[in-house]
Amino acid sequence: MLTVNAIAATSATDPLVRTTIQRRDLGPRDVLIEIRYAGICHSDIHTVRGEWGEVPYPLTVGHEIVGQVTEVGAEVSKHAVGDRVGVGCMVNSCRECDNCKAGQEQYCLNGNTGTYASVDADGTITQGGYSTHVVVDEDFVLRVPVSIPYEKAAPLLCAGITTYSPLSHWKAGPGTKVAVVGMGGLGHMAVKIAAAMGAEVTVLSQTLGKKDDGLAFGARDYHATSDPATFEALRNGFDLIINTVSAPIDMAAYLGLLRLDGTLVSVGAPPQPLPVPVFALFGNRRSFAGSSIGGIAETQEMLDFCAERGIAPEVEVIGADAVNEAYERVLKSDVRYRFVIDVDSLR
C-alpha cells in the first residue's frame, strides 16, 4: 500500500480537509500516476454535499485527473513511465456486458467503477484525484496529447467528454443550430467543441455578463434566460440543446426552443427531477434525452480532437487550501470556467 496526501470531505457540511489516503499496490495491469492537476467538477460538489445520496465519508473526490506515469505493472502495454496521462470518471467496468463490448463503458450494465465513491474489486471505496497519486487499470488511462498543457487537459476528462459525447452522438455540425444552456465548466466546453464541429452555437446564460467570453469561445449568439423575451425570440429555433445547468430548469420553456425533431439533452444533474410536460414534446416531435460522460475510446477521440483543433478549457489554477472557497464560487456561478487544483501544493 502507498500512503499519499489528499484532500477529503468528512461530512456534507464541513469544509474539505487535508488528509492521507491509501493507494493499492500495483497489480500487473495497473499504472501508478503522479497527479499534477485535478479539476473541480460540480459533480464533486453534489457528491460531497450528499445531494445525490449517501456518501462513504471520509471521501476524496476529483475525476478530472492528469499527471505522469511513474511506475507500471509487469503486463502493462499501453502506457510507459514518463507518459502524460489522464483519468476521468471511471476506473473500471465489467468489460463483458453488451454496452462495455460496444465501447460504452459509461453505461456498463453491471455498473462501472467510479473514480470515487465506488466499491472497487478489492472491496475498498475508490478515492478520487484531489491527491498526489492514483493507481488505475491501464485500460482506463488516457493519453494526453503533448500540445495540451497539463492544467488545461484536466477538465477535458469530464467536462470535455461529457459535452463532446452528446454533440457527436446527435451530430452537431455544419448546418445544425445548437444551444448551450449554462456557461460554466461543462457549458464553456460545449460551446468550444460545438463551434469546432461546425455548428452554429447560441449560449443561453442567466445573464449577459459572460457574453464577450461566449462569443470568443465560438458562439454566434448569446441570450439571457432571465429575460422572458429570449424564449419568444428563439422559439422553434434549435436542432439540439445541451443543458448543463446544475439546478432544475423550466423544461416547457426550453423544449419550446426546439425545431422539428429537435432534442434537448440534459447533462446537468440536479438532485431534483426535471418534470417534462408531454405537450411540450408533442409540438415539433421533440425529444428529451440524457447523456453520461463518454466511453474510453471516445474520451481518447475527444482528447485528440481538442489537440488537433487547438481547443482547451479556460482554467483558474488554485492551491489545495483554496478548494473550499472555489466550491463556494462554483455554487454562485462565479467560475471562469474551471477551477483546477495544482496538486504540487499537496506534496
Interacting residues toward ligand NAP by CB under 6 A: 41-43, 46, 158-159, 162, 182-187, 205-206, 244-247, 267-270, 291-293, 330, 333, 335
Phi, psi of 11 (to 5 degrees): -160, 175
- Which residue pairs from 204-210 have beta carbons closer than 8 angstroms and sit at least 24 positions apart in sequence? 204/179, 204/180, 204/230, 204/234, 204/241, 204/254, 206/182, 206/333, 210/183, 210/336
Q: Using the rule CB under 5 A, which residue among 4, 8, 41, 135 binds Zn ion?
A: 41
What stretch of H or E contains 190? helix 185-197
Determine if 108 is a binding residue for Zn ion (CB under 5 A).
yes
Q: Using the rule CB under 5 A, which residue among 93, 126, 263, 266 binds Zn ion?
A: 93
C-beta of 72 vs 218, nearer to ligand NAP: 218
Which residue number has the CB closest to ligand NAP? 184
User: From the list Zn ion, ligand NAP, none, which binds 346 (C-beta under 5 to 8 Å, kind-based)?
Assistant: none
C-beta of 257 vs 323, nearer to Zn ion: 323
Are the CB atoms for 78 and 138 separated by under 8 Å?
yes
User: From the list Zn ion, ligand NAP, none, which binds 69 (C-beta under 5 to 8 Å, kind-based)?
Assistant: none
Picking from 75, 298, 4, 5, the residue whose alpha carbon sits closest to that of residue 165 is 298
C-beta of 197 vs 245, nearer to ligand NAP: 245
Determine if 318 is a binding residue for Zn ion (CB under 5 A).
no
Beta bridge partners of 318: 341
CB burial of 287-302 (b: ≥16 within 10 Å; e: otherwise) equals ebeebbbbbbebbbbb
Picking from 229, 213, 169, 230, the residue whose alpha carbon sits closest to that of residue 194 is 169
Cβ 259 to Zn ion, closest distance in Å? Answer: 30
- Of how many residues is the chain composed? 347
Residue 328, C-alpha cell as written in the block: 463556494
C-beta of 72 vs 157, nearer to Zn ion: 157
Residue 73, C-alpha cell as written in the block: 505493472
Task: Using alpha carbons only, give the angle 326, 126, 37 rounded to the nearest 5 degrees.
Answer: 40
Q: Give the burial class of 54: count Cβ atoms within 10 A of its Cβ; 0-12 exposed, 13-18 middle, 19 or more buried.
A: exposed
9-17, 35-43, 47-55, 69-77 -> range binding Zn ion (CB under 5 A): 35-43
Cβ 334 to ligand NAP, closest distance in Å? Answer: 8
C-beta of 92 vs 299, nearer to ligand NAP: 299
C-beta of 4 vs 323, nearer to ligand NAP: 323
41-49, 258-266, 281-289, 327-335 -> range binding Zn ion (CB under 5 A): 41-49
Count, in order, helices (H) and strands (E) of the chain. Answer: 11, 17
User: From the list Zn ion, ligand NAP, none, which binds 79 (C-beta under 5 to 8 Å, kind-based)?
Assistant: none
C-beta of 93 vs 202, nearer to Zn ion: 93
- Interaction mask 148-187, Zn ion, x per CB under 5 A: ----------x-----------------------------
- Binding residues (CB under 5 A) for Zn ion: these are 41, 43, 93-94, 97, 100, 108, 110, 158
